[in-house]
Structure 1
Amino acid sequence: MNSTVPFSLRIFVADGDPDGLRLVERSNWIGKAVVFPRALYPTVRNRPEFQQTGVYLLLGPRTDGDGEMLYIGEGDPVRPRLEDHYARKDFWTSAVFFVAPAHLNKAHVQYLEAQLVQRAMRANRIPLDNGNKPAEPTLSEADRADMEVFLHNILGILPVLGITAFEQTSLTPIKANGFILTCQGRGVTATGNDTPQGFVVRQGSYAAHDEVQSLKEHFPGVIKLRADLLSRGVLVSDGNALRFTQDYTFSSPSLASAVVLGRSSNGRTDWKDPSGRTLKQLQEAQAET
């Protein structure tokens, strides 16, 4: 979620280990995030935060390929739900949950859970382990307004923690030097933008229908990503090519152009503006300016 209002975070490393238990608080906010690796759950579960009502995320590697998957849930309190997931749900390796003592009830966290699931599904950046889409509870107008503020703060904190599953591509992303960039080759054309969140390939762009052999031999991760985008409907077959059904954010210009072209690619030189200037040339010019 993009925000134009600056804010500060206080991250308390409770056990002195940067990879251990962390408590995150945002300026002028009643909520708190609790972040911990699964391996520490037996030693941290007696903390008071685990006895509070909250909404939680479980993250871990996918069983069918590269990348992460996500589970979103709520608990009143959170500990019994996390206890069950610790015993029965295998994939997750880390967790984060949000609480606000004396300010959240069961309906509140059900609303937050439903909203987070909806946003993760719309963003379509990471597969969800949730079996179904939770229904929103009935809230008063005042409670709904309060939970929208709480949700806004959650979505502002998560990217700082490295969790980008809810970030949707802006409809007006930052353009390199004022221009939409184009990647062409192997009979397809894609357009995109370099943004602070990553390189965005825009809806309606086309990607090569198949991959060259060298990509399969040397860059299997790109092959898996293309297959994953097809399975999630981000890419669909359209004649002799694949078409992007939504704006999609890649971690780098090179990964974006490799997926588009179905071959290894240097995105800094394969993405060009209408005058033929490469992304590399544009960035060098901006640096000089």
Structure 2
Amino acid sequence: MTPRPKTIQIYLPGGDPRGIRVAEITTRIVQVLEVPRSLLPEFLAMPESDQVAVYFLVGQGDDGDDPRVYVGQSGDLRARLSQHHKQKDFWERVLVMVSRTDSLTQTHALFLEWHCMQAIQKAGRFVAENGNKGVRPHTPAPLEADCLEIFETGHMLLATLGYPLFDAVAKSTTGNSDDQPFLCRSSGADGRGVYTSDGFVVLKGSRGRKDIVASLVGTASASHRESLIEAGVLAVDGDMVIFTRDHLFRTPSGAAIALMGRTANGWLEWKSKDGQTLDALKRQSVQA
């Protein structure tokens, strides 16, 4: 189904675009509030903090690490978030999904918490801090239908605020030429990747060499590569490394360096199957 145009309203209670933000689709009852950790006391004084809610603690992590998220639900949001503020270090912002009509029940919240955890695990974009996928709660069919509609709206609002928790880092490749992967086959690498609106995604199964060149030792790129190995994104296989899942890099060059173990200009190293560079297809074509 082709997505339909939508109007999303973002309200700034404090007038600061980096402060608390409240997003909603004007014709629906679901709201998502984005709250910086430093402004948690201000949020806890707002009436929305007195509702049944599903919430997401998010942290970007160190450079090169996947962002992290913890999913929760509560009918006593003030107590729960105060507890997380004292006990959990990783998070920087909390995203709170509530109803403008205060109509979410604990049954809604339990199903949405479980469903969101499944979607986050499937997408693989954020590392889930919950540690497990939870157990599906018993939910009557009419209520489950309501929850799925709430989830759809929340999904869109979260992505609009800059948190695509439920979106895979790479679309599945199809016959559409725009979706065909780029190849990196230099310095012993055999990589496939796609250029997306978020950055460059190296696809699962891509292979690169394990060792890095001497000039890369001690650099941020080398540290990033080691963190990918430690996180299990890269698996060592003899003198090679293999991507165990699709992984998003901020730049094509970062993706190429991780594969080849040397400095590289990813715009020139990534090429289509007929040999055209990523630069020619994605940068020069825009200039033309």
Give me the TM-score of the superposition, normalised by structure 2.
0.88
Question: Does structure 1 retain, via aligned residues, the 8 Å contact 2:191–2:259?
Answer: yes
Unpaired stretches in structure 2, ≥5 consecutive residues: none
Deviations 1:20-45 (A, max 9, x none): 12111123221011111111112331
Deviation larger for 97-106 or 58-67: 58-67
User: Aligned ranges for residues 142-153 of structure 1 at < 5 Å?
Assistant: 142-153=142-153
Q: Which residue of 2 aligns with 1:223?
A: 222
Q: Which residue of 2 aligns with 1:30?
A: 29
Deviations 1:49-100 (A, max 9, x none): 0011111111235479856422111111322211211222223221110001
Alignment-mate amino acid for residue 243 of structure 1? I
User: Aligned ranges for residues 24-103 of structure 1 at < 5 Å?
Assistant: 24-62=23-61, 68-100=67-99, 101-103=101-103
Question: Does structure 2 retain, via aligned residues, the 8 Å contact 1:234–1:246?
Answer: yes
Question: Does structure 1 retain, via aligned residues, the 8 Å contact 2:182–2:273?
Answer: yes
Return the offset for 1:125: 2.7
Q: Does 1:14 align with 2:13?
A: yes
Question: Does structure 2 retain, via aligned residues, the 8 Å contact 1:202–1:246?
Answer: yes
**d(CA) in 2 for partners of 1:258, 1:153:** 38
Question: Does structure 1 retain, via aligned residues, the 8 Å contact 2:173–2:179?
Answer: no
Return the offset for 1:106: 1.1
Q: Which residue of 2 aligns with 1:182?
A: 183
Q: Which residue of 1 aligns with 2:130?
A: 130
Alignment-mate amino acid for residue 212 of structure 1? V
**d(CA) in 1 for partners of 2:223, 2:119:** 24
**d(CA) in 1 for partners of 2:143, 2:201:** 35
Q: Which residue of 2 aligns with 1:251?
A: 250
Question: Does structure 1 retain, via aligned residues, the 8 Å contact 2:66–2:125?
Answer: no
**d(CA) in 2 for partners of 1:7, 1:186:** 46
User: Aligned ranges for residues 177-216 of structure 1 at < 5 Å?
Assistant: 179-216=180-217
Question: Does structure 2 retain, via aligned residues, the 8 Å contact 1:25–1:32?
Answer: yes
SS of structure 1 residue aligned to 2:190: strand
CA change 1:41–1:283 in 2 (3 A) is closer
Deviations 1:136-183 (A, max 9, x none): 211111211221121122222222222234321221379776743111
CA change 1:30–1:273 in 2 (3 A) is same
**d(CA) in 1 for partners of 2:211, 2:243:** 15
CA change 1:250–1:6 in 2 (3 A) is farther
SS of structure 2 residue aligned to 1:227: helix
**d(CA) in 1 for partners of 2:287, 2:186:** 30
SS of structure 2 residue aligned to 1:217: coil
Question: Does structure 2 retain, via aligned residues, the 8 Å contact 1:176–1:194?
Answer: no
Question: Does structure 2 retain, via aligned residues, the 8 Å contact 1:174–1:193?
Answer: no
Alignment-mate amino acid for residue 109 of structure 1? A
CA change 1:178–1:129 in 2 (3 A) is closer
Question: Does structure 2 retain, via aligned residues, the 8 Å contact 1:174–1:195?
Answer: no
Return the offset for 1:3: 7.6
CA change 1:86–1:27 in 2 (3 A) is same
**d(CA) in 2 for partners of 1:99, 1:41:** 16
CA change 1:62–1:180 in 2 (3 A) is closer
**d(CA) in 1 for partners of 2:75, 2:179:** 49
**d(CA) in 1 for partners of 2:205, 2:248:** 14
**d(CA) in 2 for partners of 1:287, 1:64:** 29
Give me the TM-score of the superposition, normalised by structure 1.
0.88
Alignment-mate amino acid for residue 196 of structure 2? T
Aligned positions, number: 286
Alignment-mate amino acid for residue 162 of structure 2? G
